[in-house]
Amino acid sequence: MHIDELIHKKSGEQVVFFLRRHIIVFIGGMLLIIFMMFIPFGAYWLINANWPQLLNDTLIGPIMKLVASAYYFWVWLFLFSNFIDYYLDAWIVTNDRILNVEQSGLFNRTVSELDLINIQDVTSEVHGVLPFLFGYGDVFVQTAAEKSRFVFEQVPQPEEIRKRLLMLVEEEQKNLRSVNRRAEE
């Protein structure tokens, strides 16, 4: 996903940062998938140790292979779906606005936009041992707009992102005040 294809930049607009969830969040989901991939091997070992005749049966043997194949298909689909959800969820912060791109499943995408001038408050939260150790958390952006709260979920360095967002909001407010002064003159 190239940023220029996703957003239509305004004149003078520059991308300040592009965020995704922390990679450790994706790796945590991968550990579950890896565990799921070993379940059929465990089942095969258990059946082979206790009922070896089932594996050689002309009816049950092929059915078990079919079930194992279907199971692996669903595990790979689950892996692909998790990767798509991780990779295509993004937060793009420019010097003028924030874009929130949320991928829900394989065929649903929501893109929300927020002008920096509408931001009222920015909060960062880190809950738990793993987020603290790996340096990721949530950043909440409070607005007066229709969608009152933007959430950057499980992003790296949430405190640094909060500080940079507040600096961008302050710069945007200064720019707006200078434009208003020029308009009044």
Which residues is 92 bridged to in the sheet?
A: 18, 99
Q: In the chain, pLDDT over 90 holds for what percent of residues?
A: 65
Which has more confidence, 144 or 154?
A: 154
Residue 6 is predicted with a pLDDT of 62
- Residues present in the chain in total: 185
pTM for the structure as a whole: 0.80
Residue 27 is predicted with a pLDDT of 94
Helix (H, G, I), strand (E, B) or coil at 161: helix
Residue 165 is predicted with a pLDDT of 96
| pLDDT, tens digit (0-9, with 9 covering 90-100), for 72-102 | 999 999 999 999 999 999 999 999 999 999 9
CB atoms within 10 A of CB 127: 9
Is the pLDDT reported for residue 150 higher than 70?
yes
> Torsion-angle region of residue 128: left (phi > 0), alpha (psi -120 to 50) or beta?
left
Which residues is 18 bridged to in the sheet?
A: 92
Parse the chain into domains and list their residue ranges: 27-84, 105-184
CATH class of domain segment(s) 105-184: mainly beta
Is the pLDDT reported for residue 1 higher than 60?
no
| pLDDT, tens digit (0-9, with 9 covering 90-100), for 22-70 | 999 999 989 999 999 999 999 999 999 999 898 888 999 899 999 999 9
CB 166 within 8 A of CB 141: no
Q: In the chain, pLDDT over 70 holds for what percent of residues?
A: 94
Distance CA 70, CA 89 (A): 28
